[in-house]
Structure 1
Amino acid sequence: MVGKKLSILSLTIALTATLAACSSNNNGNSSSSTTPASTAPSSDASPSSSASAEPKEDLTPVTFTYFNANSQVPDIDSNQTEIGKKLEEQTGVNFKLQFPVGDVNTKIGTMIASGDYPDVLAPDTAIDKILDAKAFIPLNDLIDQYGPNIKKVYGPYYNQMKQADGNIYFLPFSAVVGDYQPAPTIEQGAFFIQRRVLKEFGYPKIKTLDEYFDLIKKYNDAHKGDDLTGFTSLTYDWRTMGIFNAPMHLAGYPNDGDVIVDMQTHKSDIYSDDDSTKRWLKKLNEINNEGLYDKSSFVNNYDQYLAKISSGKVLGFFDYEWEVDQAIQNIRKTGNDDLDYLALPVVFDQDIKDQYLDPNSFVDNRGVGITTSAKDPVRIIKYFDNMLKEENQVMIQWGFKGENYEVDDKGRFYQTPEEIEARKDNATNQKVGFTYFNYSWPMYGLGSTLSDGNSLAVNRQPEVAQASFTEGDKNILSKYGVQTFSDLFAKPDDRPWYPAWSIAIEQGSPAQIFQQKSKDVKLKYFPKLVLAKPDQFDGIWDEYIKEFSKLDVKGFETTMDGLIADKIAKVTGSSN
């Protein structure tokens, strides 16, 4: 896949986690705004007309296994975290949380070959392989019997969640509850530029790609002895978005993956062989020949890429915030605001409206499911349902009142400066459980609002966002006359199919084979195009187009047209 939801999010997001870039009515349970996270809710979902006849919830201690392919963090028992311990008190359930070491697809392939799975699995990009292997059990009956909160949260999205056989096999991470709360910061794609570059030239307004690189060149030329890198990229493993995705954003489209989609006709277009991609690569070729491009971009692994950005020597890059958040946080820890970055909505030409911000959307090709190896699916689905009580969603995202967040006399959630700082600390996040529970479980989407109007996501709460801004943040925002970083970007247009990259494509199908082969062709030719001498570029581009045209471009577009039409019908309610 070219795009990836989320997150990581930094996961910020994050996916992101996109990856990531979801609306519905407020379906959360009401709770007191003053004590939502400190009260242990009852875990039984079924009301009874007679208190004496109400069945007693089974709290017998039990431990299940959960493999989460979305993150690479230390394995742990969930009850070793404060959030996990509270959830265990409510349900009796503990999880052995396991995460990948090495290649995720290899690990998933081993599971499939052996038929031995963890009880619960979030397979990330390998979800289609798990579905093809019939490794997830259907959840429909379990939800009907034991999942009232699951119904409330996911009910509006059932049409999108059902597979061809009518079954729901996994629960996605992006079901927005309540009013959609946009992020005040940039969580997705952008052209990042170091603040010292903008500062040196009086904070100019940058809109076009030429303006962006002209400014980087101007700064680099003025600081020849500083061993700076003008621009860097990454093409490691599945992390190819920094090279592959830029043309669609520059042309004024959001991240729909391999295609751009016409707003009127809803027809898809592969842009990898279009003038937009040629124009983008030619610009990289130009800056490479001016000594501004990082030649190691095509050989660096992910850790090397993050280390390079963390060094403070890189003036600019295009990427998704959730992918580079770790490096940006490393820079912020230095306290040197000049080395921090500003995300810009750069486009090709002045008359293009940027569309970097994700529209409200539901990503239905990532999620968590119960496997055929599960020892007790009923206890697991009850645990999931209990997680989706609003007070538990508050605990999972905000933590514990008086320790991780506060509530003012109007019921608004906020954090003290110390609490804001603590959320940046990996050890604290692991101890409380934010590292392990904030994502990859049944959850309200991060754009959700609670029944009392507070934001589910801490960083989307206006009070927290404003308090989180450093003096450097406030200064650069004032220079550009905006209140938040997302104010620099155009509002997203409504796209009911969005994101097209999340639409499931059958493994082994011609469309899936096209995706892999087109990626291979791009990885073969993009380095040649960028690193070539200027007079060689057009010839190599012709070779690339000749090779790319051997692929069934039209067939893929036709397949995507049908899938996009189906998704629009599901989202708009014109299909059952």
Structure 2
Amino acid sequence: MKASRRNVVFMFMICSVLLIAACSSGSSTPSASESSTSPQSTSSSTGKASEPPKEKYVIKILTQDNNQIKRSDETKIGKFIDEKFNIVFDFVQAPGNYTDKLNLMLAGGDYPEIITIRDNATFDKYVRAGALLPLDDFVKDSPNFAKLFSVQIPLWKLTAPDGKLYKWEGGVPVDFKNYIEVLDIGVRTDVLKQQGWPNLLSTDDYIKFLKQALKDNPTTNGQKTLGMVVPFAEPWGMQGISTIMYEKGGRYTAAAGNMGVIWNQIDQKFEDTLTNEYVKESLGFFNKLYREGILDKDVFTDKYDQFVEKLNSGRVLSTWYVVWGLPAANQGLIDAGHPEMQYINMPVRSMTQVERNEKRQIRVEDTRPFDIFAITKNAKHPERIKELLEWASSEEGKILLQSGFEGEEYTIVDGKRVPTEGYKKTLTDMDAQRSVGFGLFNFLGNVLTNGQDGVPYTMGFDPKIQDELGLTKEMREAYKALGWESSKDYYLKTGEMANTGLAGTVSIDSTSDLGALHQKMVDFRVKNSTSLIIKPKNDQEFEALYQSIISDYQKLKPELVVNEYNRLYQEKQEQLNQLK
């Protein structure tokens, strides 16, 4: 769904001044000067000699996020890896539908040595085709990797049809206090001020607020004001975020991804997506936004680039879910002389969710099936990749990859890492971030927990400095005017941790009849969700069309897929108990 949901949020943190940093256990961490003059001065945590192999090993990495850096040795971190391991990564752009590209590569056998996979279904295809190398023996000889991912490894094994380990994932493990992932509605602060700082929450609140805001602000900076923009044309758009109201309440999380089922965190079971009451309310919300002229008419054709262009212009009043672009837009508005026009992330709930007033289930991912990495059978030197991966799992590796270098990106004060002024200056400069290498090596793993010094490996995730570094003065003033103590205040008070556990590991064999049915369910939902948003002219028409669509949907017998998901969940629970 979310185009690598946590990768996307990671870029939000980078752009918003919450750069990818990590913690240090002390002064043993390499400094930038040490890395450039004598990379062997800090030995690998594997205990093996750190003398780099003689042969230069260039590995292709497919990416849709990085379009500036072509080779890893253009960055400080990449140079260190080159000097220490004689490995260089060649970043190759993969435009278009990434999953389709992976399927084509699998069919032709021309996939890269290290591959990024965005969903369990595609991962399943690669495993069944014999395209991925098992990592079980590697784990036995790699104490850093085994310790770091001790919770994840049994769960990762469960996703493979033969019970072997073929992957690792980025963005896990997670500390809930460091990473509260809430992607709701971005709202322009000058309009909030204009209407007396309303504490928006329900869908009705937003429709009333945005309707009035459009009336009061028909144009912005000489352009027509847009009520709400969403990049629904992205593969994860209509399929994922058009129905994701379900995660805003007190029962469900997005642990199941964006396919045909959703995960009920409270009852610990899978349910059908399209027939879910909160999914219906989500689509009904967008229908009302569309009818009121609030929803931009281009949302169904806009991809992320078009979305960003509109957002950066400042003419947008609100955004749905895609809030990771807000920091860059805010800085652009400040640079353009409009500091009063800032965006902040605010909560939303459906009318039923507001009425029930349940604790929101805030997803904490134990696994991330949209951020899978694996070594393929095309790898020329898999043993060297594994050596690098073990180092990346060590304290030294995590600090270097996520924090940079002592003396340049951070200093050590009382045994803890403290970001330097130079580091802080990179927080609003994407080119500076890329030159260090932050965010470019996530395929080696990145963790959202604390290091041995008690500081998050990503320093920007320290709750105390998230707002200090991530909020502009105007954003802080806006939250204060709303009565919030911090940008996460509402969510901490009204939500609770919801670990994904086994739910994120369950998937149906994509080559089976049920796998084909599952895809039909997804395609049906995506096609008809668009109709539900644009066709009904009132609530009665929406209800009639919804019931007609559900009637046709039931003919597919979606309960067969839902039942299979729950059967597999129980089966995997038994397997997990044996693996622990």
Q: TM-score, length-normalised on structure 1? A: 0.85
Separation (CA, whole Å) in 2 of partners of 1:336 and 1:567: 54
Please tell me whether the aligned partners of residues 219 and 315 of structure 2 are also in contact (alpha carbons under 8 angstroms). Answer: no
- Name whichever structure is richer in strand by fraction: 2
Against the structure 1 CA distance between its residues 207 and 287, is the aligned structure 2 distance closer, same or farther, given a 3 Å change threshold?
same
| Residue 507 of structure 1 pairs with residue 510 of structure 2 | yes
Q: Does 1:474 align with 2:476?
A: yes
Equivalence map 1:351-366=2 (5 Å): 351-353=356-358, 355=360, 357-359=362-364, 361-364=366-369, 366=371
Structure 2 partner of 1:143: 139
Corresponding residue for 1:122?
116
| Matched-pair identity in % | 22
Residue 131 of structure 1, CA deviation = 2.1
**Contact residue 79 and residue 88 of structure 1 kept, 8 A:** yes
CA 161–208 in structure 1, closer or farther in 2 if over 3 Å, else same: same
C-alpha change, 1:329 and 1:542, in structure 2 (3 Å) is farther
Q: Residue 172 of structure 1 contacts residue 368 of structure 1 at CA under 8 Å; is this kept in 2?
A: yes
Matches within 5 A, 1:6-21: 6-12=6-12
Q: Does 1:246 align with 2:245?
A: yes
Distance, in Å, in 2 between the alignment partners of 1:514 and 1:550 is: 11
| Superimposed CA distance per residue, residues 421-451 of structure 1 (whole angstroms, 9 cap, x where no aligned partner) | 31332221221111412x22233x2x21000
Contact 1:191/1:345 (8 A) holds in 2: yes
Q: Is the 8 A contact 2:479 2:487 kept in 1?
A: yes
Q: What amino acid does structure 1 have at the position aligned with 2:147?
A: K
> Does 1:278 find its partner at 2:280?
yes
The equivalent residue for 1:524 is 527
Q: Say whether 1:231 aligns with 2:236.
A: no
| Match 2:380 to one of 354, 375, 388 | 375
> Is the contact between residue 390 and residue 450 of structure 1 (CA under 8 Å) also seen in structure 2?
yes
Q: CA deviation at 1:243?
A: 1.0
Selected match of 1:113 from 107, 110, 132? 107
Over 3 Å counting, the alpha-carbon distance change for 1:287 and 1:46 in structure 2 is closer
Structure 2 CA distance, aligned partners of 1:44 and 1:35?
Answer: 12
Q: Is the 8 A contact 2:363 2:497 kept in 1?
A: no
The amino acid across from 2:297 in the alignment is K
Matched, 1:173 2:185: no
Unpaired runs of 5+ residues, structure 2, are 15-21, 35-40
- What is the alpha-carbon distance in structure 2 between the residues aligned to residue 111 and residue 187 of structure 1? 33
Evaluate the alpha carbon distance shift between residue 223 and residue 77 of structure 1 in structure 2; reply closer, same or farther with a 3 A threshold. Answer: closer
The equivalent residue for 1:194 is 188
What is the Cα deviation at residue 248 of structure 1? 4.1
2:268 aligns with: 266
CA distance in 2, matches of 1:69, 1:378: 23
SS for the counterpart of 1:321 is: coil
Deviation at 1:190, TM superposition (A): 0.7
- Structure-1 residue corresponding to 2:211: 217
Task: Give the Cα–Cα distance (whole angstroms) in 1 for the partners of residues 107 and 261 of structure 2.
Answer: 33
Identify the residue that residue 18 of structure 2 maps to in structure 1: none
Compute the displacement of 1:346 (Å): 1.3
Q: Do the aligned partners of residues 319 and 138 (structure 1) sit closer, same or farther apart at CA in structure 2, a change above 3 Å counting?
A: same
> Aligned partners of 1:298, 1:109: CA distance in 2, in Å?
25
- Whether 1:493 and 2:496 are equivalent positions in the alignment is yes
Q: What whole-Å deviation, never above 9, does each CA across 1:407-433 have from its counterpart, x for those lacking one?
A: 3345242342x5323133222122111
Superposed, 1:80-99 pairs within 5 Å as 80-99=74-93
Q: Mean alpha-carbon deviation: is it higher for 428-437 or for 331-340?
A: 331-340
Q: Against the structure 1 CA distance between its residues 122 and 361, is the aligned structure 2 distance closer, same or farther, given a 3 Å change threshold?
A: same
Q: Distance in 1 between matches of 2:361 and 2:327?
A: 17
Is 1:403 equivalent to 2:400 in the alignment? Answer: no
Deviation at 1:505, TM superposition (A): 3.4
Bigger mean CA deviation after superposition, 357-366 or 239-248: 357-366
Amino acid corresponding to residue 449 of structure 1 in structure 2: N
Query: Displacement, 1:364?
Result: 4.8
| Residues 250/210 of structure 1: CA separation in 2 closer, same or farther (3 Å cut) | farther
Distance 1:317 1:568, change over 3 A: farther
1:221 Cα deviation after fit: 1.8
Deviations 1:367-411 (A, max 9, x none): 222111111111111111112221221121121223223333452
1:71 is matched with which residue: 62, 65, 85?
65
Q: Which amino acid is the alignment partner of residue 151 of structure 2?
A: P
Task: Report whether the alignment pairs 1:390 with 2:379.
Answer: no
Instruction: Tell me if the contact between 1:251 and 1:276 (Cα under 8 Å) persists in the aligned partners.
Output: no
SS in 1 for 2:54: coil
Residue type at the aligned position of 1:236: A
Shift of 1:83: 0.3
The residue type equivalent to 1:172 in the other structure is E
Structure 2 counterpart of 1:21: none
Q: What is the alpha-carbon distance in structure 1 between the residues aligned to residue 337 and residue 408 of structure 2?
A: 25
Q: Distance in 2 between matches of 1:361 and 1:144?
A: 21
Indicate how the Cα distance of structure 1 residues 29 and 284 shifts in structure 2: closer, same or farther if over 3 A, else same. closer
Asked if the contact 1:160–1:364 (Cα under 8 Å) also holds between the matched residues in 2, the reply is: no
1:30-69 alignment, distance < 5 Å? 31-32=25-26, 35=29, 38=32, 40-43=41-44, 45-46=46-47, 57=51, 59-69=53-63
2:154 to 154, 159, 168: 159
Check the 8 A contact 2:507/2:565 in 1, yes or no.
Answer: no
Contact 1:76–1:98 (CA under 8 A) maintained in structure 2: yes
Residue 19 of structure 2 corresponds to which residue in structure 1?
A: none
Tell me: CA distance 1:74–1:131, structure 2 relative to 1, closer, same or farther (3 Å). Answer: farther
Task: Identify the range of structure 1 (451-460 vs 220-229) with the bigger mean alpha-carbon deviation.
Answer: 220-229
C-alpha displacement at 1:472, in angstroms?
A: 1.0
Contact 1:127–1:366 under 8 Å retained in 2: no
CA distance in 2, matches of 1:560, 1:158: 21
Relative to structure 1, the CA distance from residue 538 to residue 365 in structure 2 (aligned partners, 3 Å threshold; closer, same or farther) is: closer
Q: CA deviation at 1:265?
A: 3.3
Partner Cα separation in structure 2 for residue 30 and residue 465 of structure 1:
18
In 2 relative to 1, CA 542–175 (structure 1 residues): closer, same or farther, beyond 3 Å?
closer
What's the CA shift for 1:249? Answer: 2.3
Is the contact made by 1:180 and 1:449 (CA closer than 8 Å) also made in structure 2?
Answer: no
The answer on whether the counterparts of 1:65 and 1:120 sit within 8 Å (CA) in structure 2 is yes
RMSD between aligned residues: 3.1
Count of equivalent residues: 547
- Residue identity in the other structure for 1:159: P
Q: Do the aligned partners of 1:310 and 1:331 also contact (CA within 8 Å) in 2?
A: yes
Distance 1:75 1:206 in 2: 41
Instruction: Give the whole-Å Cα distance in 1 for the aligned partners of 2:327 and 2:568.
Output: 32
In structure 2, the residue matched to 1:426 is: 430
TM superposition shift of 1:140: 1.4
Aligned-partner residue type, residue 108 of structure 1: L
Task: Tell whether the 8 Å contact from 1:43 to 1:57 is kept in structure 2 after alignment.
Answer: no
Other structure's SS at 1:217 match: helix
